[in-house]
Amino acid sequence: MATISTSDFKNGMHVELDDGLFQLQEFQHVKPGKGGAFVRTTLRNVRTGAVVDRTFRAGERMESAFIEKREKQYLYRDGDDFAVMDNETFEQMSVPSAAMGSAGGYISEGQSLLFLMYGDEIIGTDLPASVELAVTETEPGIQGDRVSGARKPATLETGLVVQVPLFVEIGDRVKVDTRTGEYQTRA
């Protein structure tokens, strides 16, 4: 394992601490008038999702976690788990929905995505900025109900419900932002 200093911090990097594996959400170097400099951080535990604030002395060293990105293909839903196949070894594995996070609502069968791996453990996914999904259920737009910016709920092929404009109908493909979960455009 490589050791890093607090001066090497970057948002999004992963560090191994005594309490577990953490992702650095935010950090700030502070140099007070008296005393030594320190670094305030906001860390997210990748296994539990808990967010903690922690302070380190400037120059303090810790273990950097090696996170590998591996491409895997989503095959099908198996109860609460997701069946995926490694694109290099063709090995199938079951991924718990907790490890998938919000990605489960944005992926359809046969789609490939990057998984963040810590050893053999999947700790998250790296989704594209937007995905195209088909609308499976929505109410029809009513004639005369044309208020500017009016929206209606639509259920997508993955089960995700998003607010879409009134002109979107069943069978249309829509582009959804994976960061915010909002409708972007019709595809």
Q: How far apart are CA 37 and CA 29, in angstroms?
A: 7
Stated pTM of the model: 0.70
pLDDT at 144 over 70: no
Name the residue range of residue 52's domain.
3-64
Same domain, 42 and 79: no
Average pLDDT for 19-47: 90
Same domain, 7 and 59: yes
Mark which of 48, 64, 80 sits at the end of a domain.
Answer: 64
Residue 100: per-residue pLDDT: 79
CATH code at 17?
2.30.30.30
Same domain, 84 and 114: yes
Q: How confident is the model at residue 26 (pLDDT cuts 50, 70, 90)?
A: very high
Alpha helices in the chain (DSSP H): 97-100
pLDDT at 103 over 70: yes
Same domain, 9 and 44: yes
**Count of the separate structural domains present in the chain:** 3
The edge-to-edge listing of strands for the beta sheet with 183-186 is 161-165, 151-156, 130-138, 173-177, 183-186
